[in-house]
Structure 1
Amino acid sequence: MLRYALLSGLLAVTISACAQNVPANTEKVPDDMDTPDNTHLEKATFGGGCFWCTEAQFQYLDGVIKVESGYAGGTVANPTYEQVCTGTTGHAEVIQVTYDPSKISYDELLQAFWQSHDPTQLNRQGNDVGTQYRSVIFYHNEEQHKKAAYYKEKLQASGAYDKPIVTEIAPLNNFYAAENYHQDYYNQNGSQPYCHFVIKPKLEKFKKVFKDKLKHTK
């Protein structure tokens, strides 16, 4: 909660100055594709470990229209999951977030990104180890670049972490959508052990921290 409070404070300053057999999921994240004007939607791309985890968390944020799991930052075109898992393609597992900036800002998405994983772990998150699990922000434009760099610097200086933040900040050159079975993974596979023992605890913690920013679930 201390980190969230620090992040909230940084967000406020920036805005004022310029964010086996386990029962399957029964809770459904609402579809927000009924946005009045899709031409105003924007995209953000983040890597914070296994994309199943980050996808599940960001899906609950009000103003997030779509979360797509995929690969970015590598040298191989149209990589497969098996290729990325070797750690030789240079790609990171990422999520690409389509959002409505009138409901949620890029600053707030950055706030959620920092909270969703441990940005001090180099090329891993927990037991998921490899460069494909690195902490990374792929920016779509210079404004996103400046904001990502600003928050990384301020968060490090705040003392919220006792180790250096190793999050990479890089331009997005290509995003490749992951295979269909990776999409909406937690909601479709809630009975799987990884979902129950790894994703669910992260999601519950995330929902408590961002309880005022969540969608109304059906």
Structure 2
Amino acid sequence: MVSDEGEALGEVLAAGIEVDGADRLVRHIVQEQGLLIQGGVIRTPGMPIESTPLGVLLVANTARDVAHWLYDHKKVKRGRDFREMLADYLQTTFSKQVAQTEIVGMSTKPHKFANVVSFANGRKLILDPVAKEASSINARVVANLDVKARHDPSLIQRIIYDDTESWSASDLNLLQVGADVVPFSEARNVIRRLADKELAA
């Protein structure tokens, strides 16, 4: 079985798109490709091991189509969006040093990160915002955990969450499995300390 581990829906939620009943909304797209969706995770049915490369390609293409469909058909949440505020702050502070970047994990799967700051010493600071939604939480944990498993000393990972919302201890503990967790209210100070350390290196 091959799955996208909830990354398509997680990416949409991280962009601030409001999605209720995602499985029902996009099932027609998924089923057209002979795939399944449950809990926001797109996956193949049981399949022979030799079909895995085809399954990976099919799931990746379907996940992309699902994300595009949701972007086109759903609305961005109104009101305060800490992810936008984080991106604006990073753009102002680091300018061309910050960009959306794909980083390959231990599994050899590439993962998208919205905010990656590159330093002159070759190190990269991943600042990964997460929405208070199960699919977003799972997707960001999986992506960060896969990258962390590389044990690459040039990568610094932080997951940023909006602490104006009420988070359960279990969700925060789950995020911590992926990477060190930073509340948005403290993000500027933490980012500045990390950046100063790299600039001094």
> Fold match, TM over 0.5?
no
The answer to which structure has the higher helix fraction is 2
TM-score category of the 2 structures, normalised to the smaller one = under 0.3
Larger radius of gyration: 2
